Amino acid sequence: MPSGRQGIESSMRRLIFIASFLLLAGIVAAQNTPSDSEKNELAAAIQEAQTSPQDTIRVLEEHLRRYPQTGLRREISKLMAEAAMEAKDTRRIAIYGVPALLMVPNDAHLLDRVAEALLEMGGSENAQKALDYAVRLENYLIAIPVARGRNPASNQEDHDRAIARALLFQARANAALGKDNDARLKAALSYMAYAEEASAKEWARALERLGRGQEAIEKMADAFAIGDPRATDDIRSADRRELGEMYRALHGGSEIGLGDVILAAYDRTSGELQKRRAEFRKLDPNDGLTEAGKFTLLGIEDGKLELAKMRGKVLILDFWATWCIPCRTQHPLYEEVKKTFRDRDDVRFISVNSDDEHEVVIPFLEQQKWSKEVFFDSGLVRVLNVTTIPATMIIDKDGNVASRMNGFTPDTFVQMLATRIRAVLNGPVDAPVR
């Protein structure tokens, strides 16, 4: 499946396209309109930079030096901010991200990265700016609805984590400004929005600065114990040292009893994570699953299909999308194969739609006069690593992937698919294809 269908537009090739469009289309300020020679010069320089964010930064900064009064400054700042984020250049993210936000004030990704960059640069002035941007980010995220679509649990998780980051930045900014109680409150809210190591640690440090040592130890133990995949071994080791220092400072230099505190933190954080997973499972019954045979597929109109209840049948999964032109050519061929096995009760053909926008599917089926016995992929494309469509998977009676067909050849598709289905029906597959 093309990555562009996933809504991902972060590559530098996309950046170059935006730059060229802005320059050549003449979308500039009313004053200081650049000459054609300036626009052509900059377009050529960007083309030379290709997909390198570092080279893009270099040519854009050189252009600003040559044309300090350019009417393209805002557009260039936006492009520079995107290139700086790609290059992980903290200083330039802050420098160019601030003016870029005048153009796109509700760019959540840019707000997040600018607030983080300002905090990393340090200083009370930067901390105040970071606080303002983090508050703006939080307000924006709260106001927008969470996308349900294909991966509702994942969308909710991303949304919760983004809000938690906005609150964490507010906690860190308040700490830098000496507002320890505000830092404590924001860190606590961040942890409650999405429990992670970073927010627990920030909460612990705020409590310690406020002289609430025992509470600080408990939250630092949570930071150390919580199952956070973003916390590296180095971070865990640093958290353990900091926890030990806190504990010894409050217990006369001894760590006796610290083990019990850590065990309690493991129990507490494990319970919190299990509760979170249970909430996500309500949104998506497939959340966290890694085995295709355990998935539940949702029908386009109503109902669901639990693949676990299909054990003992050979399943033929047809992955397609409304925007896929070859899928339309394949469809009548696929229907022909279905007729061949229509008398077999141990064979089930399943039409799996992989559109990001679910609302387009029913009108498409009606227009094409296709059956509405269709199910959304519900995350199955990720588990089965479906990277191109049309794609056909044959699942054997034990729930293993027995055959995979990426694309199709019209002249041979019917015979090839029928032959593979018969092969799976006639005996077990020695080595299931993963």
The string of pLDDT tens digits covering residues 107-124 is 999 999 999 999 999 999
Helix, strand and coil content of the chain, in percent to the nearest 5, comes to 60, 10, 30
Q: How confident is the model at residue 280 (pLDDT cuts 50, 70, 90)?
A: confident
What is the count of structural domains for the chain? 3
Please give the Cα distance from 113 to 108 (Å, whole number).
9
Mean pLDDT for the stretch of residues 121-135: 97
263 and 385 part of one domain: no
Say if 199 falls within a structural domain. yes
Please give the Cα distance from 244 to 226 (Å, whole number).
17
Say if 432 falls within a structural domain. no
Please give the Cα distance from 334 to 156 (Å, whole number).
36
Output the pLDDT for position 18. Answer: 47
Output the pLDDT for position 11. Answer: 47
Q: Is the pLDDT of residue 4 over 70?
A: no
Which of the listed residues 80, 104, 128 is the one where a domain comes to its end?
104
Say if 268 falls within a structural domain. yes
Say if 347 falls within a structural domain. yes
Q: Is the pLDDT of residue 23 over 70?
A: no
Alpha carbon 193 to its chain centroid, in Å, reads 17
Which of the listed residues 57, 73, 104 is the one where a domain comes to its end?
104
Mean pLDDT for the stretch of residues 287-307: 83
Q: How confident is the model at residue 387 (pLDDT cuts 50, 70, 90)?
A: confident
100 and 113 part of one domain: no
Backbone angles phi, psi at 319, to 5 degrees: -90, 125
193 and 245 part of one domain: yes
Q: Which of 9-23, 81-95, 351-365, 388-402 has the lowest mean pLDDT?
A: 9-23
Distances (CA, A) of 132 to 81, 118, 175: 18, 11, 14
Question: 127-143 in b/e burial notation, b at 16+ Cβ within 10 A?
Answer: bebbbebbbbbbebbee
Output the pLDDT for position 120. Answer: 96
CATH number for 182? 1.25.40
Most confident by average pLDDT, 16-25, 35-44, 353-362: 353-362
Mean pLDDT for the stretch of residues 261-290: 88
135 and 215 part of one domain: yes
Mean pLDDT for the stretch of residues 136-149: 88
310 and 422 part of one domain: yes
313 and 276 part of one domain: no
313 and 391 part of one domain: yes
Backbone angles phi, psi at 405, to 5 degrees: -125, 110
Say if 223 falls within a structural domain. yes
Distances (CA, A) of 353 to 33, 85, 369: 48, 34, 15
100 and 196 part of one domain: no
Q: What share of the chain in percent tops pLDDT 90?
A: 60
Show the DSSP H helices in 194-251 as ranges.
197-209, 213-225, 233-250
Place of tokens 């054997």: 396
Mean pLDDT for the stretch of residues 206-216: 98
Q: What share of the chain in percent tops pLDDT 70?
A: 90
Say if 433 falls within a structural domain. no
Output the pLDDT for position 43. Answer: 78
Say if 434 falls within a structural domain. no
Please give the Cα distance from 187 to 181 (Å, whole number).
10
348 and 387 part of one domain: yes
Place of tokens 């006069």: 369
Residue numbers of the domain that contains 196: 109-284
Write out the H or E segment, with its range, that includes residue 392: strand 391-395
- What tokens does 124 get? 């009370």
Which of the listed residues 284, 311, 330 is the one where a domain comes to its end?
284
CATH number for 380? 3.40.30.10
256 and 150 part of one domain: yes
Output the pLDDT for position 177. Answer: 98
44 and 94 part of one domain: yes
If one counts every other C-beta atom within 10 angstroms of the C-beta of residue 318, the result is: 24
Please give the Cα distance from 45 to 37 (Å, whole number).
12
Say if 77 falls within a structural domain. yes
SS3 315: strand
124 and 249 part of one domain: yes
Encode pLDDT of 225-264 as tens digits: 999 999 999 999 999 999 999 999 999 999 999 999 999 9
